[in-house]
Amino acid sequence: MSYPLQYFRLAIGNTDCNVIASSSSISVSRNTGKPIEKWYLNYMKENVFQIVNASNNKAITSSENSVTLSDINNSESQNFKIEGIEKDYEGYYLYYKITSDSDSSKALTYSVDSGFSLEEYSGDILQKYKLNLDGLEGFAANCTTTLGEKAGTIGGLLGPTIIGNTMQEFMKERNSEGPKTIVLNVNVDMKMEKNTRVRDYKTIVGSYKYKTIYDCRIRSNDELGRDNPSDNIIFRNLDIQAREDGSRTLLSFYSSPNIWFDHINFNSTIQYDRKINGQDNEGKFVWVNTLFANCPDSKDIDRTPDYYTVSYCKFTNKYWCFRNSK
């Protein structure tokens, strides 16, 4: 089974440079858009990963204080912890430190004079990194607003990848705690389901063979207002279809920030007569909602559904496609 891996860039501190692959070593460069500056993670255990370059599939490898690139060998020398250390004004991690799993006092450090090495972590700006997802632009990405610099949406990047081979697995994992990438390996028909929750830090991505979700009613909060709305969610490479129930809103986000929709085909095969008789005002593909001031769901009131990016999506055959309401 294959699916689009989520590549990312490792941005160094407050510089305009990214970590890149350079033969058997790592170096720095300003944005190039080339695979040498794109990386992906192999999840080893909680907060521990192999950091692998997209251009050569070689992993960052430590040897005492030196750092190189080498073929994946599943040794401890290729295991690194990625931990958030500094948050943006919204409370999301902007900077991360990368430390050896075998010696967490040693952090990946860049020096203008000597390049990369493992040094004692001191909090120096050149020991801090931003995780910027490849392909993500706009306000869901790392950007500067009138309030300051905000962190980019990362979805389930820092969690395990779960293959959803059945609808039951998909339903269980999207409502589970903790970051996860959930890969569809089966087309999912949700016409018999009511409201279903997707939780924080999830990436839902279709495989290249199976990526269709029919008649879903996925929402980002608990419909009874029992806990905070979910945020930091990504939907990618999906075919989301309305074919049975024209009244359904397929994806609903209530007071949830940091959402990215990418390469999704939204389509309805349900006919309506365009006579303004009620049919046209029923279900939407996507609903983004700011709750009203006296709403009983008090945990939602002080949150804003902001920082959304919609990229390379198609919306067809629905009167309301993407709607925001206050």
Residues 168 and 57 in one domain: no
Q: Is residue 254 part of a domain?
A: yes
Exposure letters 292-303 (e unless 16+ CB within 10 A, then b) = eeeeebebbeeb
Q: Is residue 1 part of a domain?
A: no
Residues 214 and 305 in one domain: yes
Distance CA 32, CA 38 (A): 10
Distance CA 101, CA 121 (A): 13
Residue 301, φ and ψ in degrees, nearest 5: -65, -45
* Averages of pLDDT over each 10 residues, the chain, 326 residues: 94 96 94 94 97 97 95 96 96 97 96 94 97 97 95 98 95 94 97 91 97 95 74 97 89 92 95 67 82 56 82 90 72
User: Which strand (E) or helix (H) includes residue 321?
Assistant: strand 320-325
Q: Is residue 242 part of a domain?
A: yes
What single letter denotes the amino acid at residue 262? D
Residues 220 and 135 in one domain: no
Residues 246 and 308 in one domain: yes
Q: What is the pLDDT of residue 260?
A: 98
Q: What is the pLDDT of residue 69?
A: 97
Residue 148, φ and ψ in degrees, nearest 5: 130, -160
Burial of 197 per CB tally in 10 Å (0-12, 13-18, 19+): middle
Distances (CA, A) of 263 to 84, 234, 310: 28, 11, 9
Last residue of a domain, one of 112, 127, 150: 150
Last residue of a domain, one of 150, 178, 200: 150
Angle, alpha carbons 136-176-193 (nearest 5°): 95
Distance CA 40, CA 307 (A): 24
Q: What is the pLDDT of residue 300?
A: 56
Residues 29 and 139 in one domain: yes
Residues 180 and 316 in one domain: yes
Q: Is residue 156 part of a domain?
A: no
Count of other CB atoms within 10 angstroms of residue 91: 9
* CATH number (domain holding residue 123): 2.80.10.50
Q: Is residue 218 part of a domain?
A: yes
Residues 137 and 173 in one domain: no
Total domains in the fold of the chain? 2
Distance CA 98, CA 89 (A): 22
Q: Is residue 299 part of a domain?
A: yes
Residues 221 and 282 in one domain: yes
Q: What is the pLDDT of residue 218?
A: 94
Give the residue numbers spanning the domain of 26. 8-150
Q: What is the pLDDT of residue 294?
A: 60
Q: Is residue 309 part of a domain?
A: yes
Phi-psi region of 223 (alpha: psi -120 to 50; beta: other; left: phi over 0): alpha
Residues 134 and 180 in one domain: no
Q: How many CA atoms lie within 13 A of 99 on its CB side?
A: 16
Residues 226 and 287 in one domain: yes
User: Which strand (E) or helix (H) includes residue 168?
Assistant: helix 167-174
| Strand ranges for 112-227 from DSSP E | 115-120, 129-133, 143-145, 148-150, 161-164, 180-184, 188-189, 196-197, 202-206, 212-214, 218-219
Last residue of a domain, one of 150, 178, 202: 150
Q: Is residue 121 part of a domain?
A: yes
By the 8 A CB rule, do 120 and 106 touch?
yes
Residues 6+ positions from 118 with CB-CB distance below 8 Å: 62, 64, 65, 66, 67, 100, 103, 106, 107, 108, 109
Residues 128 and 270 in one domain: no
Residues 281 and 168 in one domain: yes
